[in-house]
Amino acid sequence: MFFTRVFDKRKLKRSLERTFKKLLPMELMDMIMHHNHDDQAALVASSVVSSQWQGPAQRRLFRSFRITFSMDYTQSDPEVGLYVEFFSTVPTLSTFVTSLCIRSVIHRTQSLAADMNSQMALLVSMLPTLQHLTFENISFTPRRSQQTLLLKSIRNLSLRSIRMKTHDPEELFDLFSIKETLELDFTFVQAPTTGPQIARSMPVRHLKINNPLDCFPRFGRETIFPQLRALTCDIIDISGKGWLFDRANWMAAISDFPTTKGHHDNMDRFLRRHGPALEFLRINVRHLVLFGDIDFEDSDWTAFQLDTVCPNLQTLHLGFQLDLWAEACLEPLMPGEFKCTIDFLIRVISSAPRTLTSIVFGISVTLPGCGISGEEVTNFDASETSRQWKRLANVLDPNRFEDLAAVKFVEQETDAPMVDFRKPLDPVMQRLLAANFADVEKKGMLYFE
């Protein structure tokens, strides 16, 4: 009887395996695992069901891999070495990793060597399908050798809150050929202005920056971007050299209230050199108080000279903050600030080249919270608000922009920096904006998604 039961169980197991194999082809298995790609518990459970389930589950489990340092190490290379050992033991898993993030919980206390001989370099070289690499809250130590070799070709490199010495940033870039996007988030690249320069050609197509204006990256004089076609510039403040990158002088920095004038030299230098190749430009000023931060007499800023520095521009994205009294209205909380916002948008668009085919406005809508009554909202001059919006509509002159085919209003995603402008606005706000851009809508050029 015992052997009969064992035999029956084995028959049942083989039958189930044949059934699952028949009913779940690999294409369907991949679809199931893709559906659960955010559910780590489900993927872990699926990986131990059978050999057929293991591969697709592990591919999703290890597709995005994160290394987090939670303690205050001086040198993090030994810690990274543990992961080198792990992937050496199970090399199959290394083929699944397409995205790697190396980060520190404690702000800028970890130190990695930007060096071909480091454990970080060894780990990256072990991941054959790696395409997205992120460093966060890390500082880099100088090279231990003068050897410069290309470590890997990747699609995207993201540097977030990275502290580097003057020479280190471009030494890090020497290790990677970045084919698509380079993101610099709270990271100041400051190449030396004197002395010998190393010739570098970076095949980046899209450069994304989320920094104060005076911390726009300063690449070396011999660094070129032959494939660059898009620039995203999110300006989080006017000056950050005191409170962000030079902590010793932070008291002097917060006591000063600078304007744009004199703080855009790096941006001007970059646009004059690389702007002619740009087809896409995004300028996002939602973090600024335009009434005090923008110097409208500052004619030297290249943001007001786009027809000269970006003569082939096709797509222009402009991000700004709109403080409203309440939902379902366009009445500004601060009319003076709203007028400055419209003035800024008009100034930038008026300077744009005739080659523009689309303009996208990314609006960050903020409300004052509770305690505002409907009576207070009606106290505003609605005709003045409408007049300001129509001023903006008038600058979209088809006689100037003959190729302009789309004017779009969308809401900014504020949860993460440098996210594309694509979230639809509230339907009521869409209708209110359409009323102020009636001529644009009649031409079939007005879009909200």
Strand 176-185 vs strand 152-160: parallel, antiparallel, or unpaired? parallel
Assess whether 89 and 157 both reside in one domain.
yes
| CB atoms inside a 10 Å sphere around CB 209 | 25
Assess whether 90 and 56 both reside in one domain.
no
Last residue of a domain, one of 61, 89, 114: 61
Assess whether 45 and 115 both reside in one domain.
no
Instruction: Look at residue 156 and tell me if it is in a domain.
Output: yes
Q: DSSP assignment of 226-251, as one string?
A: TT--EEEEEE--S--TTTTS-GGGHH
Assess whether 99 and 148 both reside in one domain.
yes
> What does pLDDT average to over the chain?
81
Does 420 have pLDDT greater than 50? yes
Instruction: Look at residue 155 and tell me if it is in a domain.
Output: yes
Q: pLDDT digits over 28-64, tens only? A: 666 766 666 666 776 666 666 666 666 677 777 778 8
**Percent of the chain's residues with pLDDT above 90:** 41
Report CA Rg, the chain: 27
**Percent of the chain's residues with pLDDT above 70:** 74
Instruction: Look at residue 338 and tell me if it is in a domain.
Output: no
Q: How far apart are CA 79 and CA 18, in angstroms?
A: 44
Instruction: Look at residue 23 and tell me if it is in a domain.
Output: yes
Last residue of a domain, one of 117, 146, 181: 181
Assess whether 95 and 133 both reside in one domain.
yes
The angle that helices 335-350 and 382-394 make with each other, rounded to 10 degrees, is 10
Q: How far apart are CA 260 and CA 268, in angstroms?
A: 12
Q: Does residue 350 sit in helix, strand or coil? A: helix
What pTM did the predictor assign?
Answer: 0.85
Which residues are paired to 283 by β-bridges?
233, 318
pLDDT of amino acid 209? 96
Instruction: Look at residue 399 and tell me if it is in a domain.
Output: no
Assess whether 101 and 148 both reside in one domain.
yes
Count of domains observed in the chain:
2
What's the pLDDT band for 222 if we cut at 50, 70, 90? confident
Last residue of a domain, one of 153, 181, 209: 181
Assess whether 72 and 175 both reside in one domain.
yes
Assess whether 116 and 155 both reside in one domain.
yes
Nearest to 285 by CA among 293, 297, 295: 293
Q: pLDDT digits over 366-399, tens only? A: 988 654 544 444 456 788 899 999 999 999 988 8
Highest mean pLDDT, choosing among 124-138, 246-260, 347-361: 347-361
Which is more confident, 324 or 199?
324
- Per the structure, the complete domain to which residue 23 belongs is given by 19-61
Q: DSSP assignment of 147-194, as one string?
A: -----EEEEEEEEES-B--SSHHHHHHTTEEEEEEEEEES---B--SS
Assess whether 119 and 145 both reside in one domain.
yes
